[in-house]
Amino acid sequence: MSTTEPNLSISNPHPEDTDVIQKVALVVACFGVLILLAAWANVALDAAIFMPIAIISMIGGTTVYGARSYLKQPEGIKNNGVWHFSLTSRGAFAWAVGILLTGFYILLYWFPGYVGFVQSGENQGLVALFDPLSMAIKGRPASQWFMYGTLYTIAILALGMKFIFKYRHNRYQLIRTISVMIAQLVFAYTIPEILAALNYNDVTTTAGEYAGYYDADIKNVWPLDYDFFYSYHLDAMQEEAYQPVGMIYLIAGMALFLVGTPVLTYLIGKRWYCSWVCGCGGLAETAGDPFRHLSSKKLGAWKLERWLIHSVMIFVFVMTAVTLYGYFTGTSSVFGLDIYSKFQKPYGFFIGAIFSGIIGVGFYPMLGNRVWCRFGCPMAGYMGIIQRFKSKFRITTNGGQCISCGNCSTYCEQGIDVRAYAQKGQNIVRASCVGCGVCSAVCPRGVLKLENGPEEKRYDLPPIIIGNESVKISD
């Protein structure tokens, strides 16, 4: 098939369709990004003025652009040109964005100095731009992680707004997207910063003594939050100065893993987490939405997925068991192996940084938006086992209505060959399904429905597809 001329836009291939408001909104959003780049390049900007301008421009510009682009079209599925645009079909633009994102993560993780973080002394560059916000919230300069958390939240909010306009006809998508936006803004971003501001976390006393830090994003559950049981983390949650908040986080963290997760996953599937509240999922469903069709649907990819995700799960279980052993016995090695250098450090480096960050997000434009969630995330792996074997959740198929067109499989970010089930009239019960609901949305014949129902007959393969009386079940 000959392709059409490459195009650099995400949502609109036809410049004649871009009106003045859209163009202005786009310029405004780009201006916000330009401020970030200028700050990064150490252009002398008054951060107190330019940081709010940047944030408002990026969120406001993207929102207006999304609203204008989608609201002037009739509501419906908006996938026109997805495989024609450079950015969304692994073209040159996609490579550029992928390299930029990957580079950003490498600097963030290992060379924070290059994004402007200064350990002792005044921040520079990009990190310095966020100093006023950090000062305003908790009275101390920004770290590279504060900068990253802020940008991450902006990405989910701005591109979440775009997604809302794109799917305004679909109430499931609407409510789900509002949920991931609130989860990020409130639970992952605001509450932790407020707790720090109220001296319930990350406190250095006037005497200069550091009281410790714990992850105050309550929904960031172990094993996704792999350092939950690290001694510094357990100690911080038990730190006297942080009570009762610290203990609440300790108890809630364990209860969510042991009780909340299995119960909720049994009742409604792992989607309660993966596509409704999770931060990684939140970014994937908003900023990552234009790349969801890039996941591989090959059988080989599914095989790889099962090996990889369960290997990571075993890795995190072993690493955590060893960590707890060390914590309670007070030793730093097990069987002669150093717990930090042989377990924690490799997990943090290979899984925490390279897999979830660099490959997980940096490779969005190449491998799709859910590489980490599908191949790596141990939390997803844990819930996947529950969802596959003991859950009420399934995607019901609608009798004989499937026409095997392939939209469902193509737009499945988890690379599930949804069509393979739909065309047999079989429900989709798969460990990896995050319940985003896009297969159901893009189906042109009303074949797919995510729902929670009795476990009975949940994944029966019907002997025949209904509508055909030629073939009797009895013979």
Partner 1 sequence: MHNIVIIGNGISGITTARHVRKLSDHKITVISAETDHFFSRTALMYIYMGHMKYEHTKPYEDWFWEKNRIDLKRAFVEKVDTDGKTLHFSDGETMGYDKLVIATGSKPNKFGWPGQDLEGVQGLYSYQDLETMEANTKNLSRAVIVGGGLIGIEMAEMLRSRNIPVTFLVREESFWDNVLPYGESQMINRHIKEHHIDLRLATELKEIISDENGRVKAVITGTGETIQCEFVGLTVGVSPNIGLLKGSGIETKRGVLVDPFLKTNIDNVYALGDCAEFLEPNGERKSIEQVWYTGRMMGEALARTLCDKPTKYEPGHWFNSAKFLDIEYQTYGWVWAKAKDNENDFYWEHKNGKICLRLRWEKSTGKLLGVNNLGFRLRHHAFDKWFKEGRTVDYVLEHLKDANFDPELYKTYEAEIIAQFNRENGKNIQLKKKSWKRILDFVS
Among residues 331, 329, 351, which one has the least CA distance to residue 340?
A: 331
Cα(312)–Cα(297) distance, rounded to whole angstroms?
A: 21
- Residue closer to partner 1 (CB basis): 244 or 300: 300
For 449, the 3-state DSSP assignment is: strand
CB of 362 vs partner 1, minimal distance in Å: 24
Which residues bind to partner 1, rule: CB under 8 A?
1-2, 4, 13-14, 16-17, 74-77, 79-85, 169-172, 175, 298-299, 396, 398-401, 403-407, 409-410, 419-420, 423, 437, 440-442, 444-446, 449-451, 453-454, 456-457, 460, 462, 464-471, 475
CB of 191 vs partner 1, minimal distance in Å: 26
Amino acid identity at 233? H
Phi-psi region of 269 (alpha: psi -120 to 50; beta: other; left: phi over 0): left
Cα(388)–Cα(90) distance, rounded to whole angstroms?
A: 32
CB of 418 vs partner 1, minimal distance in Å: 11
Among residues 134, 143, 14, 100, which one has the least CA distance to residue 363?
A: 100
Among residues 269, 296, 273, 270, which one has the least CA distance to residue 371?
A: 296
Q: Contact 84/6 with Cβ under 8 angstroms?
A: yes
Q: Contact 163/290 with Cβ under 8 angstroms?
A: no
CB of 461 vs partner 1, minimal distance in Å: 12
Cα(425)–Cα(417) distance, rounded to whole angstroms?
A: 13
* Surface-to-core class of residue 114, CB atoms within 10 Å of its CB (0-12 exposed, 13-18 middle, 19+ buried): middle
* Surface-to-core class of residue 34, CB atoms within 10 Å of its CB (0-12 exposed, 13-18 middle, 19+ buried): middle
Cα(317)–Cα(469) distance, rounded to whole angstroms?
A: 52
Read off the DSSP letter of residue 2: P
Among residues 457, 366, 404, which one has the least CA distance to residue 102?
A: 366
CB count within 10 Å of CB 132 equals 18
Amino acid identity at 75? E
CB of 359 vs partner 1, minimal distance in Å: 24
| Alpha helices by DSSP H, 167-260 | 171-182, 191-197, 231-238, 245-255
Among residues 187, 140, 353, 101, which one has the least CA distance to residue 127?
A: 140
CB of 160 vs partner 1, minimal distance in Å: 17
Give phi and psi for 256, each to the nearest 5.
-65, -40
Cα(207)–Cα(213) distance, rounded to whole angstroms?
A: 17
Q: Which residues have a Cβ under 8 Å from the Cβ of 335 and sit 6 or more positions away?
A: none
Assigned token pair, 29: 């959003």
Residues 168-182, buried b or exposed e (16+ Cβ, 10 A)? eebeebeebbebbbb
